[in-house]
Amino acid sequence: SLMRVSSDPTIEVIVVDNASTDGSFEMVREKFPQVTLIENARRLCPLPGLGLRVGRDQSPTQWGILGYAMMCCRTVRHMMAMLIKYHRIAASMAEFYFREERELAYLEVRPPRALHEALVPVIEEHFSSVLSGVKLLTGRADIRPAELRLSYAKPDYARLYGEVFGCPVHFSRPS
């Protein structure tokens, strides 16, 4: 898809590189000189919990057509079905999985490939933006998950998770 849009002068393509070592940065710079490359995005914006803050503060309308479609849903269940089915059109860097058991609903966010240093901010942004969308759809600013389980180490700014999600947060690896 990069090749299709790279020849259109009205479209600016920005590639974020977090100090990758696989040669992808050099390949993009060489083959697509018109692409703007941002090296080491985390160094450029060192704000702790950036993914949490972005997701918490964004509106579903910032997801483009998917966000507008989700806001037309009548229920959270329908919103989640829409998200699962069409999240790729919003350039999602992770896959969403949703299931219901008894009175609980489970949302899993799983990247389809290794994201390395980008894993934590991507997961943070996905969970916090979905929560923001649910709050907007339901009109309930007080809605909270029962708990959040994450597959990475507890970051230094873990208290921000409590502020954003308002629930117990469990990190599966020690700090």
Task: Kindly state the tokens that stand for 131.
Answer: 């929560």
- Confidence (pLDDT) at 52: 93
**pLDDT per residue rounded down to tens, the chain (175 residues):** 455 544 555 555 556 665 667 777 677 667 665 554 444 555 667 778 988 998 899 887 787 888 888 889 999 999 999 988 888 777 677 888 999 999 899 999 988 777 777 788 889 989 999 999 999 999 999 999 999 999 999 999 999 999 999 999 999 865 4
Name the β-bridge partners of 101. 104
Q: Which residues of 149-161 are buried (b: 16+ CB within 10 A; e: fewer)?
A: ebeeeebeeeebb
CB 107 within 8 A of CB 127: yes
In order of 4, 59, 90, the CA distances from 63 in angstroms are 21, 8, 6
- Confidence (pLDDT) at 147: 95
CB 131 within 8 A of CB 141: no
- Confidence (pLDDT) at 122: 86
- Confidence (pLDDT) at 8: 54
- Confidence (pLDDT) at 18: 59
